[in-house]
Each structure stands twice: as C-alpha cells, then as structure tokens.
Chain A
Amino acid sequence: MKHTSIKIISLLFLVFFTASCEQEMPEAALEVAEGGGTLRNYTAYTIDAADPSGSNVYGRVVFWKGTLNRTLVQVSLYNTLEGQQHPALILEGASGVGTTTLLTLDTVSGDTGELNDNKFYVIGDSSFYDGLLDLDAHINIYLSETDNTVVASGNIGLNADPVESN
C-alpha cells in the first residue's frame, strides 16, 4: 500500500508541475480586418470655384494611398449649398476640355462639403494611386443631380501640381 501511495503521490506531483505554469492572461481583442491604421501618403489638388452664379464653391480633393493597394478619395469643399447633393465626377482631360467620365464619386453633401455617405470614396484599382501623377484628368463638382451646372472644378494628375502631398 505504501508503494501504491508513493506512486499516486508521485503522479500527482508530475501532474501538478505539468499543469502549473505561467498564468495565461487574455490578450486584448484584436479581431479586425486588414487595411486599418494611419494613412500618411496623400496627394491633394485644389478645386476652384466655377459656378457662374457666384456660389464660390472651392476646396480640395485628396487622394490617400490606402493599404491593400486601394486609393481613398476625399473631397472637402467650402461654400457648398445647404440641402443640395453635389455630384462629383472625375473626368478625362483637363478641366473644361474633357467630358468622358472616369469615375463617379459619391455625391458631396451641401451641408458638410464632404462626401455624403462615406468620408472616402474607395478605388479598388491597385494601380490608381501610383499612376495618379500621370493621370490626364480633372474633377468636376455639379450643382445637383438634376442640374449639371459645374460649380467647381480642378485639374489633377498630369494637369496640375499637387497643392500638398506627403
């Protein structure tokens, strides 16, 4: 019996020292999709007022180099018209010249001067940002979805120097 006891106790010691170890402390919840974080590379162009009625809508369009080869487009305009939804399009060629639409961005809220649903319009084309400086294009801001008066316009890419970039 004594030998049996010693065996049992030895087994206990073995189990104990196997089981006991450093405390496992839970990590913070890190569940998140790829692509988050701070974006530090961008190219910004000015958008100038073009409204013949003198609304003086102006501002900038910023192309942010996102992760996962995405490009995030931000539009920020002053003097937009309250209650209006201003369509924002990127068109081929220089401002006042080209008319072929390359991209239809989200509409700009007249209340905030920024894109309506999302802060950014997302371009999934992996080569867009890298080819931006060579892009022959401009951006037009229209009065409304039913009135295609261009209230503001700005050259981008090949047609203008960035107002700011990083």
Chain B
Amino acid sequence: MKKALILSLALFSMLAMNAQQITVSGKVTDEVGTPLPGVNVVIKGTTKGSISDFDGNFSIDAESDAVLLLSSLGYANKEILIGGRTNISVTLPEAAEMLTETIVIGSRSKGRTKLETTAPVDVISIKEQAINMPQMDLAQMLVASAPSFSAFRSQGGDLSSAVDPPTLRGLAPNQMLVLINGKRRHTSALLAGSQTGSAANATDMSFIVPDAIDRVEILRDGASAQYGSDAIAGVMNVVLKKGTGEFTGNFTVGGFPNSAPDLSGTDVSVENQALLKDTEPDGINYQLAGNYGVSFEEGGYLNLTGLYRQAEATVRPNISNATPYGDAYLNNERTDAQGNIIITNPELVAAQASGNTALADELRTDTGLMDARGLTYKDFSTYAGTAASNLGVVAYNMALPINEDLEFYSFGDFGYKYTAGYSCFYRRPAQADRANFDLFPNGFRPQIASTQTNIAFTGGIDGTLGDFNFDFSNTFGRNKMNYDMFNTFNASLQSESPTTMDLGTHSFYQNTTNFDISKYFDDVLSGLNVAIGVELRIENYQIEAGQLESYSIGDAGIYTATTDNEALLGPDGFPLEDLNSQPIVNADGSPVVLPYGQASTNINKFYSPNCQCFRGFAPENEANEFRSVTAAYLDAELDVTEKWLLTGALRTENYSDFGDVFTGKIATRYSILDNFALRGSLSTGFRAPSLQELNYSHTFTFFVGLDPFDGTLYPNTSSAARAIGIETLRQEQSTNLSIGFTTRLFNKIDLTVDAYKIDIKDRIFETDNFDASEAPALAPIIGSGLASFRINGGDISTKGVEIVANYREKVGEGMLGLTVSGVLRENTFEGASVPDLNTVLSDEELETKYVNRSSIGQFESGTPNTTFIGSGTYSWGKWSGMLRGSYFGEVTSLDNTFRTLNDGSEGYSDQTFSAQFVTDIGVTHNFTDKLALTVGGNNIFNKYPDILRAEERGFYLYSNYQQGSNGAYYFARLTFGF
C-alpha cells in the first residue's frame, strides 16, 4: 500500500511537471549581434540540452520555470531563467580570459589576435585541449598540436631522456627561446644530445606543468632583436592561468600494450622474432594534477598547481646474438691476476662431479649454459626505450594590486625529477675486460639515473607611470642535476668496486633583471607604440666531480712481485694468463720475470677502468664559470593605416666572455581585403654559446696496445685547444626572412601560409677525435690519447613553408572543429669553415673530421622534413572527442664510417626510413560539469617505424626520429572539479 502511494505521488508529480513543459526557442548572438552557432544550451540540473544552429537559433523543451545554461568556447557562460517565455534572445559576452587572449608574444604593444600579427603565431589552448589529449606532458602536447614544433625524446634512455627539449623549424633546442609570462626561462644544466647533430642545453619542458597553463603561443619567426639570444628559430611563450575560481584536477593512468610488430620478411632471425614477440605491457604511468585559482575582491589573483607523475620504463630490446659467455667462461679457464682460478661455470663442475658427461657437454656451450640458467639471448640484449621517471612540480602565479596604477606580480615553480634509463650496451660475461663473476655472473646492463631539482621564480611590478607603461622584474632559474649509475662497476677494481656510483653534478643558474617601458601614441598615424628596455643577466655553470671509483683506474689486474727475479708463473707452474687466457710471456716464450720484490709490477689483466658505460666527472672536468650579459633594445610598432602595420626593433647585447652582438628586425603586415593580409619580416639574430657549451668537458678511457689512455672533449679555452689552433667559441648569427599571408575563407576557415628562410653562420658542432699523429702539436698534452672540441663548424640554412588551416562548423547536433597544418622543410649544411689548424691532415681529411658526415646527415635529413597534422574535434552535449592523424615524412641517416657492408660491398651504411602515419584519439563524457571521464590513446594502430639495417643495429632496433618505438599507448583520465 505504501509503495502504491509513493508510486502514485511520483506519477502525479510527473504529470504535474509535464503540464508545465513548454518549447522555448531563441537566438544566441555575440555582443555585436553576430549569430553564434554551436552554443550548448542545457537545462540546468539535467543532462537535457540542445545546440544552436548556424544562425544562432535553438529550440528546447523545458519546464516553464527552468533555467537554461548557455556555454560556448571563448564566451562567458550565461544562465537564463525561462520564466514562462517561449522566445528568448541571448547575448553571450566574450569570456574574460578570451578578451585577453590576444597574442602577447612578438609584440610589446597592445595585444593582437594571431591573424593580426606580422609573423606566424600558433596559439595552443592547453586549458581547453588537454582533457582529450593522450599526451600528459607539455612538450608532447605541443608536438601533437603545432607542426613546426618538435620535442625529441630519446628512445635510448640515456641522459638525453632526462630532459624534454623543445625545437622549432628543424633547428636545435637551444635555437629557440622559451618564455613564461613573457620572461626568459632558464635552461637545463645538461648539455644533452639533440636530434640536430649537436649537443644542446635546452629548456626542460617537463617542469612546466600543463595544468598551470592557460595557453601557449609559439612565434615562428626570428626574434633576437626583441628577446635576445637563442630566439633564432622562434619563441615560445607560456601564459599561465589566473583566477579560475575553481579547483580542477585530473588523474590519468596509461600504458603501452607493447605488442611488437611483425618482423617476418626482415633479416631478423626467426628465433629472435619469437623472443621480440614475447612481451608484456610496460611503461605504465600515473599522473595526478590539481589547479586552484582565486580572484581577490580588491583585484589580483592567486593560482596554484601541483603535479606528480610516475612512469615506468619501456623496454624495446635489440637482440644481437653476440656470444654471451665464450669458451674461457664456459670451461672455467679464467684466472685472477695472481693465477687463482675463477669457477664461472659451476653447473659444469656439478655435472662433472656427478659424472654426467652428456650434461657436461651441453654446459660447455653458450646455449646449454643459458638453458641451465633459464636465460635467453634476450636477457643479454641491449635495451632501448623510454626512461622511467618520477616527476613532482608545484607552481604558482599571482598578482596583487598595489594601487590603481601599480601591480605586483610573481610566478614560479619548484620541481623534482628522477629518471632512470637503459642507456648502455649490455656487458656480456664474454667481455673479460669488464666482467666479474662475483658481482654479475651473467653480465650486466648499466643504467644511468639523474636526479634534478629545478626552481624558477619571477617577481615584478608593472603598471603606469604618468603616460608610460612599465614593467620591472627579476627572474631567477636554476637547474641542478646529479648523475648516478647503477647495475655497473669499475672493472679495474673487480669485486671491490661499488655497483652504484655517483658520477657528479651539473648545475646552471640564470638571474635576469628586466626594465621595460613603453608608450602608445594614438595620434601618430593610426597609432604608434614605442618600447625601450634594458636587461641584465648573470649566469653560472658548475660541474662537480663524482666519487673516486667512477673515474679511477684500480689495481685489481696488477701483479706486484713478492720476491726478486720472480717469474710470472701460476700455481700450476705455467705462465700467468692475460684476460684472453693467453700466457704472459716474453717474445721467446719464456715467462716474464719481475726483477724487484715488492716493487716491480705487471698488468696481468687489463680490466677496463672507470665506471662502466659512463666515466664519472673527474676533478679535471670540474668547472665553476660565471658570465654577465647586459642588453638594451628599442622596439616600435606603427599602424601606418588601419590596414598597414609596420614594426621594427634594434637590440644590442654585451657578453662578458665574448663581446658584443647587435641585431635588428623589421616586419610588416598589410590587409589587402578585410579577410586577407600579407605579412613578412626580415631580421638578424644570434645565439650566444652557452656556458655549458663553453665549459663542458668529459673524458673516456681507451687502450692502445696494453696501455690505457684518455680521450677528452676539451673546452675551447684549454691548452689542448690552443695547441691545435681551435678558436674560442663565438656566437651563431642568423638572418631570418619570412613572408606569408593570412585569410579567413567563407567566414569559417582561418588560413595562414608562411614561407621562411633562416641562414645561420658559425653553427656549433663537435669535431671527431684527433690524435697526436694527426696533430703533433697535441702530443705534449694528450700523449697517445685523443682530443675533440666544440667548434663553430660551418654555416647551415633551413627554408620551408608552413600551412595552418582551422575550420569550425555546426554539424548535426554538435560542433565540429577541424585543423590541418603542415610543414615542408629543407635543411642544408652549407659547408665547413675549417680554420688553419696545426695538423698534418690533408684539407679533405681535416674537413671530414671537423664536421663529420653523420652530424651533417642528422641535421639535413635526420628528422622529418615533411610533417602534417590533421585533427578534428566534435562536441555534442555531454560528449566531446578528438581524432588526430600525424604524418612524419621519411628520414635519412648518414653513416660516418666507410666500411665493408654486410653484403660484402664497400660503402656507408646509410638508410632512409619510410614515412609514418599515426592516429590519436580521445573521447570524453562529462557526467556533470565537474566530473568527466576521458579514454583514448595515441598511435592507436600500433605503428612502429622501420627497423635499422643490420650494420647499424647496435643500440636501437627501430628508427629513433619519427613516432618513436614504443608503439600504441592507451589511457584513461578522470577530470574533476569543485
């Protein structure tokens, strides 16, 4: 009875509600009366909704006293009480943040939209796009959004993978400038390998948290005259969120199924194909991020962001079939420096003890012993893959009004990052000079780890002083990176060696003080803005040595005589043996005799010195260098007419360590029609050699015959550099030319096409190694060692065309957005600029050594010269989705060594990798306006790039410079708010 009563009441209520339902029609316009298509119209408190058509009209059935919630991208939300009306006209104002979403990059004047600038600017609304994107980090988000932008992530898990470096237009990471809220961002302490053929210190994008970002503006034009050093390829400005008035967060889980591709038909053996197919999911990652922004009643705001991400490593092995153990190991023939025997195959001893000769025969083979130990060739393979990482960052952005004319602002972040990757070749037990049974009976795979702390802090005051706008600020940034290796050892210490070692610490800090002042003259033609400013920058770079064992030569292989005239005989009366189990004898076959007891020594075993895989930084590599930079600029923007904009800038900078640089820029834009404008710019630019490039030094040890020698990458200020005649590094200088047009077609399609050419003089490269026979002047310094240097190696150029088209249209019940963008590029090495060096090499030999073939190839064709990205977004009611296709053109790698190839011919093992196409997807369902779930993936069809040809298949199996070798990635993300 009670149930029946409740049911009746409910039915009555529904009938009562139905009785109040009406059909509401209306029209949505913006503030100037333009109809707004695609506006979401939802009955508040329900999931019921509609969407406005192309003319801004909508219709919806609703209760007569319901409230309609209208929302559209770029406009403020609005709530309308129906109040019994059946026809409602609604005006949506532009969202507050959209009003300021004019471009601030590349201009010190009033904001302009991206179609009004003199140079191409990509505006990527991270705040809007992030929810549907598989990518979690800013660099990869931008790669997926801007075709000229690239962020090479090493697939080798080496130190390069400790940094996410940004690049533009196929140039190096240190040839673009990164700004946060318009202020220069510091770079990483690490001089990391880059995809453009030269090592570079780059801004680490991973410490810039996407959740803290409103949008990213990428200026694709030289801008050194406006922003100083590094802005050769362009400038990226990250605009942080302000007072959002809500807490938003997201939790993402993702991973790689790791389903290896079918390699049948390749020269990879059937056995190895089976091993490569035996995979399991990896690279599982979690990310939790939150952002809260509040606006103060008196003005100003505070925005706080936190992020923690943990990502496991991915493993993409290359199985080499190199001998794992070797005969000496298998037959227990190894001895130490004193002649004591080392039982390396106890399984064989056990088989002998039990009299099982058949098993003993098996155990004397590599495969037999591997089987006995449950190992395969895969266990002895070298791993490529993405490094494991833990990342934590907190960031803030705030402003407080001081009075009506002045505002204090500040923003900054603190981050911690740990990465650990498989950066080294597998050390097989067969390699006797780097083997130790006690520590690593089956060999080892050294891993390198980096621990970073990164801090950035900006404080400043801006406002007006009389008729002038001004901005006074100070920005401090520091990156400190400690390097460790684990699963390694110093073989020359044998069992006494630690297996985890501190390799040293690099740190870099940069303090930049800016004072900018500008004035807008509205009575000069159609408006003139003049800005002047000064900058003072102080930088410091330090290298601290690691622990002694990481760079020392131990005595485990050295034998010291115990008596006078002691013959080097073992307990068995035979001569002691070297690492190859060969007797240590004189030329006539007689044992070597040590004349003096307690004094005479012999290196019986040439164990490899230093930390295996990467020698620690030693005291001779240490550095602590400062420099200061002062700069001044003049910047003017003149609206000659309403249709013609003309801008110019001049800048001079003085570096305490290498002198003065003067740059300039002119740019213009002319609107031929309301929806069609031409634009172009001509500028000079430069990039100062960084403190890292000037001072980084590292040494490795190699053997000539039986003697160890050092190979060192020397700073250019070293005596070795002076001896051979290498000059001090100077700045790279560029000339940029850009011309293009912008248009809006059919009032729906925004299209920009820009062509560019950048010529760079004195690009910094690294030489091959020189020895004293090639450069006798080096002999007193390097002896039989090797020396290499960083040099202004030659001139390069890049030219290309960039096309970006955006289209937005109501389709069906939802809103469709399409973007197509592409880059067609050509990079050219114009030739080496070889100075008169003190060598005995021919001009041709010297040129080849000065800038090697591989570096040239990497710059010219090592990364895709053709890239296209096509993406579509569709939002309908509570659903939204993104589908993106990315095309990476073919790449070609050039080999450095003329050699006998696997087919018996002589030549270089060059290789062209075919073009690749990958597909990303993301679909979001909004359960409420505060809770949404997104699922999707990138490279969802699990496309792998081509495998390397056999001659080059050492570390990697797959091409490294297209979509990477991790395969498909899938994720789920919960986005929430309060």
Contact = CB atoms under 8 A, between A and B. Distances in A.
Contacts of B442: 28-32
A46 B569 CA distance: 14
Interface stretch (A81-89, A95-103, A117-125, A133-141): A117-125
Given A23-B420, A32-B346, A74 B443 contact: no
A74 B333 CA distance: 11
Contact of B388 (A25, A67, A113): A25
B572 interface: yes
Contacts of B145: none
A166 B372 CA distance: 32
A32 B308 CA distance: 39
B441 A36 contact: yes
Interface in A1-18: 1-2, 5-6, 8-9, 12-13, 16
B84 to A, nearest CB: 28
B118 interface: no
A76 B343 contact: no
A44 B574 CA distance: 12
B487 interface: yes
Contacts of A5: 928, 930-931, 976, 978
Contact of A8 (B360, B437, B486, B974): B974
A19 B253 CA distance: 11
A166 B444 CA distance: 32
A34 B343 contact: no
A123 B437 CA distance: 23
B374 interface: yes
Contacts of B928: 1, 5
Nearest to A120: B332
A23 to B, nearest CB: 5
Interface stretch (B191-199, B349-357, B784-792): B349-357
Given A25-B447, A76-B574, A32 B373 contact: yes
A18 to B, nearest CB: 11
Contacts of B342: 36-39
A36 B249 CA distance: 55
Size bin of chain A's contact surface: 35 or more
A34 to B, nearest CB: 6
A12 B310 contact: no
A64 interface: yes
Given A20-B286, A38-B342, A122 B353 contact: yes
Contacts of A121: 352
Given A30-B442, A70-B349, A64 B310 contact: no
A108 interface: no
A2 B978 CA distance: 8
B827 interface: no
Contact of B571 (A9, A27, A35, A164): A164
A41 to B, nearest CB: 9
A88 B437 CA distance: 31
A29 B375 contact: yes
Given A28-B442, A33-B346, A122-B353, A38 B341 contact: yes
A70 to B, nearest CB: 6
Contacts of B312: 23-24
Nearest to B419: A23
B931 A119 contact: no
B379 interface: yes
Interface string B436-477: 011011111101000000000000000000000000000000
A1 B929 CA distance: 11
Interface string B761-772: 000000000000
B573 interface: yes
B819 interface: no
Interface string B551-583: 000000000000000000001111000000000
A16 B288 contact: yes
Contacts of A66: 343, 349
Contacts of A8: 931, 974, 976
Nearest to A41: B340
B930 A30 contact: no
Given A5-B976, A38-B340, A44-B572, A20 B310 contact: yes
A36 B437 CA distance: 8
Nearest to B444: A28
B344 interface: yes
B572 A76 contact: yes
B341 A74 contact: yes
A166 B366 CA distance: 32
A24 to B, nearest CB: 8
Contacts of A1: 928, 931
Nearest to B383: A26
Given A32-B373, A33-B350, A33-B372, A42 B571 contact: yes
B91 to A, nearest CB: 31
B438 A38 contact: yes
Nearest to A121: B352
A110 interface: no
Contacts of B333: 119
A23 B440 CA distance: 21
Nearest to A125: B353
Contacts of B375: 29, 31
A62 interface: yes
A140 B251 CA distance: 78
A68 B487 CA distance: 28
Contacts of B444: 28
B336 A76 contact: no
Contacts of A39: 340-343
A27 B931 contact: no
Interface centre among B313, B437, B487, B573 (most CB of A within 10 A): B573
B348 interface: yes
Contacts of B288: 12-13, 16
B343 A35 contact: yes
Contacts of A59: 572-574
Interface string A41-68: 0101010000000000001101010111
A76 B349 contact: no
A44 B343 contact: no
Interface in A136-166: 163-164, 166
A38 to B, nearest CB: 5
Contacts of A13: 288
A90 interface: no
A118 B438 contact: no
A72 interface: yes
Contacts of A62: 571-572
B755 to A, nearest CB: 46
Nearest to B312: A23
A35 B346 contact: yes
B94 interface: no
A20 B309 CA distance: 9
B353 A36 contact: no
A25 B336 CA distance: 31
Contact of B572 (A16, A38, A60): A60
Given A20-B308, A37-B437, A76 B573 contact: yes
21 contacts: A12-B251, A12-B974, A16-B286, A23-B388, A23-B418, A25-B388, A26-B445, A29-B375, A31-B373, A32-B442, A33-B373, A36-B342, A36-B345, A42-B571, A44-B572, A60-B571, A70-B349, A76-B573, A117-B360, A118-B352, A119-B341
Interface of A: 1-2, 5-6, 8-9, 12-13, 16, 19-20, 23-40, 42, 44, 46, 59-60, 62, 64, 66-68, 70, 72, 74, 76, 113, 117-124, 163-164, 166
Given A9-B251, A9-B974, A38-B438, 19 more contacts: A8-B976, A12-B251, A23-B420, A27-B487, A28-B487, A32-B347, A32-B373, A33-B347, A33-B372, A37-B438, A38-B342, A46-B573, A59-B572, A62-B571, A66-B349, A67-B343, A113-B574, A123-B353, A124-B354
Interface of B: 249, 251, 286, 288, 308, 310, 312-313, 331-333, 336, 340-350, 352-354, 360, 372-375, 379, 388, 390, 418, 420, 437-438, 440-445, 447, 486-487, 571-574, 928, 930-931, 974, 976, 978
